[in-house]
Amino acid sequence: MCGIVGWVDFTLDLTNERPTLRAMTDRLAERGVDGRGVWLSRHAGLGHTRTAVIDVAGGAQPMTAVHDGRGATVVYNGEVYNFKQLRTELTDRGHRFTTRSDTEVVLRAYLEWGPGFASRLEGIFALAIWDEQRAELILVRDRLGVKPLFYAAQPDGVVFGSEPKALLAHPWVRPVVGADGLRELFATAKQPGMSVFRDMRAVLPGHVLTVGRAGVTDTVYWELTATEHRDDLDGTIGHVRELLDDIVLRELEAEVPLCTALSGGIDSSAISAIAANWRWRLSGERIRTFVTTFDDYAAAFRPDDVRFAPDEVFAAEVARELRSEHVRIELNTADLMDPAVRLAALRAQDMPTTLGDMDTSNYLTARRIKQHSTVALSGEVADEIFGGYGWMHDEQLLGADVFPWVAKEFLQPGSPRGQGRGLFDPAFIDKLELGDYYADHYARALARAPHAEGEDATERRMRGISYVTLTWWLPMLLDRDDRLAMANALELRVPYGDHRLVEYLYNTPWAMKTFDGREKSLLRAAVRGRVPQSVLDRVKCPWPVTQDPAYAEMLRRQLADLLADPSSPSLPFLDVPAVRAAVERPSEIAHQWVSRMNLEMVLQFDTWLREYRIEIAV
């Protein structure tokens, strides 16, 4: 797990551009705390920051290898879980390895099989390879897009990096945000390949970009396909169980401390249980688990519309049953209000979000986990593949002509302007035409969904919902997870994102996914007996938020300060009377989640404009 950057220009001599490559690399210092390197040739420069996980002593990057007289250099971020099998195959083909790292396996796989090597890699990764003989740059991203990779095309080449902040360190890339970027910012459905910044794009998941003198070629090496599901219900449950066992086993590979993030929900509890079983069987060691809460959260908990019970009670029960080394991370309001922490969470994502203390607490959780472990397994992606979201079971939302997770914005009478947009100038928001944006892209996304012959109406609809969820909703979560974790040099692995499991469940009938009348029926059945019954029965709850009124009061004070400062860069974009009214209603801020998200977005938007010197071009 690392940060990667690079610059290719076929008309310039880049050998003297080390200061620029260093500046780009330095922007990703938090992603790699164990090493840093820059490599330059005439037309290409690569930079790397490393947090070591495999072959701690020998896996430094950028890494160069030669085979049969042909050389290439790689910068690589992530983990390839089948690297040992690939290493054996490459050794049989005559390759001689000088390190134990998966990085060298990736590089030699390219030298052996060319750009088609990407389909042989199984894991989470984003990488760049410069082929000196062919004068070509190869950019590759994993199948689901767990690891980020952005690029900015130039007239005679390209600039790229793990995060936009690295590209913005290049003198040719400016922080300009146009209408499309603002739609990405304010929408809760993210267009694949888009970036908030006008001149940047993201390498699409499952794609290989080849950059040569003739231009850029985009090749798909993986995408979802529709196939017939041949297993009966018992066979399906059994196969899911077998896949999960194998996936978690592979993802336990690390030469540094590893743990699981345990919320007490079924997703993370299942991963923790499987990991604990493997760890004990293979080494006689106990797995370490982490749960996040707030001071006095359980004792003073008040249910809201999506949270019905505190996580820590369930997590503690799971931990006792697994006999894990359980660590309770307790955050307080002062932690969440720390301006430096709030700014760090924003910088980690290079953009404002509505999630406020959810982002801050995620960032702080990663920081605390990193004190003990370098790798954490999470329960992300389970809802998307097993059918865990409430809107997947709501006929009204499924019947809307927009993405179902945003449909409430359009179906509820008197609905606010949308999550995070409620305090912005209506004229400014109207320019973005988000209603048309949602409807148009939803129709296009549904049209791209692969379908099997003979599907009935329900199966066809739910396969389409599964597709748009995986391609327009999940990337938003994966990007956030990676950025907040890697800002603390913590690698977050997602076992449920293994492409074998994703492919299998994409083609599993919806009737099987809900066979017991509940969400995530298959997952419950597959892990029954491995986690407590209370966890199997538990209703899904999202990440906790602080319920301390002092936090809401802090938001109110900061918003009042923003209004009082005529130099606040966000003022021209705000509905100032609405903001002033929100400041004067502290009780609403404290108790209404949507109202709080609107305030969070305004404050982050203002900070973002200042810190990044954003140029709005609408």
d(CA 455, CA 476): 29
> β-strand 150-154 against 201-202: which pairing, if any?
antiparallel
d(CA 572, CA 568): 9
Q: What is the DSSP string of 360-423?
A: HHHHHHHHHHHTT-SEEE--TTHHHHHT--GGGG-HHHHTSSS-GGGTHHHHSTT--S-TTTTT
Going by C-alpha positions, the residue among 168, 475, 556 that lies closest to residue 347 is: 168
The secondary structure element, H or E, covering residue 78 is: strand 70-80
Going by C-alpha positions, the residue among 211, 131, 124 that lies closest to residue 162 is: 124
The type of residue at 564 is A
d(CA 522, CA 605): 41
Q: What 3-state class would DSSP assign to 599?
A: helix
Backbone angles phi, psi at 37, to 5 degrees: -155, 155
Going by C-alpha positions, the residue among 98, 102, 95, 99 that lies closest to residue 120 is: 102
* Six token digits for residue 396: 């009204």
Three-state secondary structure of 291-342: EEEECCCCCCCCCCCCCCCCHHHHHHHHHHHHCCEEEEEEECHHHHHCHHHH
Going by C-alpha positions, the residue among 292, 416, 444 that lies closest to residue 363 is: 292
**Neighbour tally for 610: CB within 10 Å:** 13
Nearest-5° Cα angle at 227, 223 to 232: 130
> Which entry of 1, 2, 168, 177 is annotated as an active-site residue?
2
> β-strand 157-161 against 123-131: which pairing, if any?
unpaired
d(CA 269, CA 182): 37
The type of residue at 511 is A
Q: Does the annotation mark 541 as catalytic?
A: no
Residue with tokens 């390879």: 129
Three-state secondary structure of 124-146: EEEEEEEECCCCEEEEEECCCCC
Q: What 3-state class would DSSP assign to 8?
A: strand
d(CA 205, CA 78): 14
* Six token digits for residue 319: 């931990």
User: Taken in order 360, 363, 367, 369, is the CA torsion positive or negative?
Assistant: positive
Residues 6+ apart with CB under 8 A from 246: none
Residues 6+ apart with CB under 8 A from 584: none
Query: Is the Cβ–Cβ distance between 479 and 197 less than 8 Å?
Result: no
Query: Is the Cβ–Cβ distance between 448 and 467 less than 8 Å?
Result: yes
Active-site residue set: 2
